């Protein structure tokens, strides 16, 4: 039993680079184990997504639809994986370290009574009954190697560390699976969800992120500058927890340990100190540029380029220089 499974879902939005990175993670595991890679999509998805996923060279794309999976709850998604693997054997079951997988994967591992590694950066080795992964611990401050023993293990991967597989012409078969038992928890029920609308790219998918820290002073002071800079770049806007806690920006903008993990090509850190909890959510960015008036600010330890300057002078100058160059 050396096969590998990549779990996704719910997938109503288009398949993202993070989803594809999870398939890349699965592919690298299957290459080491010598087994086949399958994809399991939990809950509803679109025909476009199905079409995208059948060209990744995997053995099967399984679709598991069930009334209890129409909207996400961790209990139902965990029970669905457990029900699916009753009839399918895998050495490793993987997913991207998304906010939902961070919630339902540990639950799944506990229900299956198998070991799990979270936030995997690299696969060190994979042998029968033994997997060794490097993963982030202590808020990403340390990379630790962990050994998982036994016939099956679970792992979530850090999207920025794995490549999407190459598109192939060959079409993988799509297999619809059903589970008759109730999934989820009898005392928990999904009620409603509301999505914030934004013309800007999704934070975790954006090529460029411009993030604001407490140095912006308030929603009416520095925030319009940060947003203007982001719009010139076609970038997503991020924030520190201090900014979110102050109510200057909504929760979903938060980058860091208790926010979103991003790894864009370019991360512009404006008026933020670079606390470890923030850095753990953006340190994998390709190029980090920091603007801070304090030369001792820890953000300069991780920045590729640093500008020691008052943001209220630097950002308008940047807007003028870049905006002018772009028009
Ligand atoms: C359990 C836990 C989880 C956490 N999770 C997160 C998380 O997910 N994300 C996160 O971001 N934080 C998180 N935090 C909070 C984190 O520890 C920091 O408090 C927070 O990141 C600080 O935000 P900041 O950099 O905006 O503010 P500050 O640390 O106050 O920094 C403001 C920076 O702005 C600079 N500045 C001020 N004025 C200007 C100016 N005019 N021009 C240029 N620079 C200026 C200052 O020099 C300073 O460096 C967490 C904390 C805990 C305990």
pLDDT tens digits, 31-44: 999 999 999 999 99
Tell me, yes or no, whether 216 and 166 share the same domain. no
Query: CB neighbours of 123 closer than 8 A, spacing ≥ 6?
Result: 25, 28, 29, 32, 131, 132, 133
**Is 294 near ligand 1, meaning CB less than 6 Å away?**
yes
Identify whether residues 170 and 217 lie together within a single domain.
no
Q: Say yes or no: CB of residue 243 within 6 Å of ligand 1.
A: yes
| 45, part of any domain | yes
Instruction: Give tens-digit pLDDT for 218-250.
Output: 999 999 999 999 999 999 999 999 999 999 999
pLDDT of 222: 97
Q: What was the pLDDT predicted at 112?
A: 98
pLDDT more than 90, % of the chain: 85
Kindly tell me the sign of the dihedral angle through the C-alpha atoms of 70, 76, 78, 81: negative
Mean pLDDT of 193-208: 86
Residue 73 lies in a domain: yes
User: Which segments of 258-326 are extended strands (E)?
Assistant: 266-270, 287-292, 305-308
293 within ligand 1 shell (Cβ under 6 A):
yes
Phi and psi (nearest 5°) for 208? -130, 135
60-64, 85-89, 163-167, 321-325: segment of lowest average pLDDT: 321-325
Residue 243 Cα, ligand 1 centroid: separation in angstroms?
8
- The mean pLDDT of the chain is 94
Based on the domain organization, do 167 and 298 belong to the same domain? no
Q: Is the pLDDT of residue 324 over 90?
A: no
Ligand 1 lined by 311 (C-beta under 6 Å): yes
Q: How far is the CA of 278 from the centre of ligand 1 (A)?
A: 7
The predicted pLDDT at position 64 comes to: 97
174 C-alpha to ligand 1 centroid (Å): 47
Check if 254 has its Cβ closer than 6 Å to any atom of ligand 1.
Answer: yes
pLDDT of residue 10: 84
pLDDT beyond 90 at 195:
no
Residues 145 and 223 in one domain: no
Last-in-domain residue among 158, 177, 196 = 177
Shared domain for 212 and 173, answered yes or no, is: no
> What is the number of other CB atoms lying within 10 angstroms of the CB of residue 121?
18
**Does 292 sit in the ligand 1 pocket, CB within 6 Å?**
yes
Q: What is the pLDDT of residues 294-318, one digit of tens each?
A: 999 999 999 999 999 999 999 999 9
Domain count, the chain: 2
Output the CA–CA distances (angstroms, integers) from residue 144 to 38, 160, 326, in the order listed: 28, 17, 44
Confidence of residue 326 (pLDDT cuts 50, 70, 90): low
Ligand 1 atom nearest to CA at 311: 42
For position 199, what pLDDT does the model report? 86
323, pLDDT greater than 90: no
Virtual torsion, Cα 120, 124, 129, 135, nearest 10 deg? -20
Distance 158 CA to ligand 1 centre (A): 23
Residue 315 near residue 226 (C-beta atoms within 8 A): yes
Asked, for residue 188, whether it belongs to a domain, the answer is: no
How many A from CA of 202 to the centre of ligand 1? 22
Measure the CA–CA gap between 36 and 88, rounded to whole angstroms. Answer: 12
Tell me the mean pLDDT in the region 150-168.
94
Identify the CATH number of the domain in which residue 304 sits: 3.40.50.1220
Mutate to test the pocket of ligand 1, among 214, 279, 299 (most ligand atoms within 8 A of CB): 214
Q: Verify that 38 and 144 share a domain, yes or no.
A: yes
What are the helix and strand counts (H, E) for the chain? 9, 14
**What integer pLDDT is reported at residue 327 of this predicted model?**
57
- Residues near 308 by Cβ (< 8 Å), separated by ≥ 6? 292, 293, 294, 295, 300
For residues 256 and 306, membership in a common domain is answered with yes
The domain of 292 spans 208-326
Q: How far is CA 145 from the centre of its chain?
A: 21
The 10s digit of each residue's pLDDT in 54-99 is 999 999 999 999 999 999 999 999 999 999 999 999 999 999 998 8
Please indicate whether residue 185, judged by its CB atom, sits closer than 6 Å to ligand 1: no
**Does 126 lie in the same domain as 34?**
yes
42 lines ligand 1 (CB under 6 A): no
Residue 19 has pLDDT above 90, yes or no: yes
Q: Tell me the pTM.
A: 0.83
Q: Which pLDDT band, with edges at 50, 70 and 90, does 120 fall under?
A: very high
């Amino acid at each position: 039993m050396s096969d590998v499974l990549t779990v996704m879902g719910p997938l109503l939005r288009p398949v993202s680079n993070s989803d594809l990175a999870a398939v890349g993670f699965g592919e690298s595991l299957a290459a080491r184990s010598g087994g086949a890679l399958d994809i399991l999509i939990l809950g509803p998805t679109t025909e476009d997504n199905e079409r995208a996923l059948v060209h990744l060279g995997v053995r099967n794309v399984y679709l598991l639809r069930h009334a209890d999976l129409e909207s996400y709850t961790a209990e139902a998604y965990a029970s669905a994986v457990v029900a699916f693997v009753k009839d399918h054997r895998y050495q490793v079951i993987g997913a991207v370290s998304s906010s939902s997988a961070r919630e339902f994967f540990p639950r799944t591992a506990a229900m299956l009574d198998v070991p799990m590694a979270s936030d995997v950066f690299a696969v060190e080795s994979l042998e029968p009954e033994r997997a060794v992964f490097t993963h982030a611990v202590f808020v990403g401050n340390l990379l630790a190697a962990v050994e998982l023993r036994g016939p099956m293990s679970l792992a979530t991967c850090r999207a920025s560390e794995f490549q999407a597989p190459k598109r192939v012409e060959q079409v993988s078969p799509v297999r619809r699976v059903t589970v008759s038992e109730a999934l989820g928890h009898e005392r928990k029920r999904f009620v409603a969800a509301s999505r914030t609308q934004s013309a800007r790219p999704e934070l975790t998918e954006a090529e460029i992120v411009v993030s604001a820290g407490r140095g912006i002073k308030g929603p009416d002071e520095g925030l319009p500058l940060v947003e203007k800079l982001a719009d010139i770049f076609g970038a997503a806007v991020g924030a520190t927890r201090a900014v979110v806690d102050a109510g200057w920006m909504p929760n979903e903008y938060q980058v860091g340990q208790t926010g979103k993990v991003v790894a864009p090509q370019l991360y512009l850190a404006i008026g933020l100190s670079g606390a470890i909890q923030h850095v753990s959510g953006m340190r994998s960015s390709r190029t980090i540029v920091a603007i801070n008036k304090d030369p001792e600010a820890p953000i300069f330890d991780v920045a590729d380029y640093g500008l020691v300057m008052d943001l209220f002078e630097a950002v308008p100058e940047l807007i003028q220089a870049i905006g002018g160059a772009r028009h």
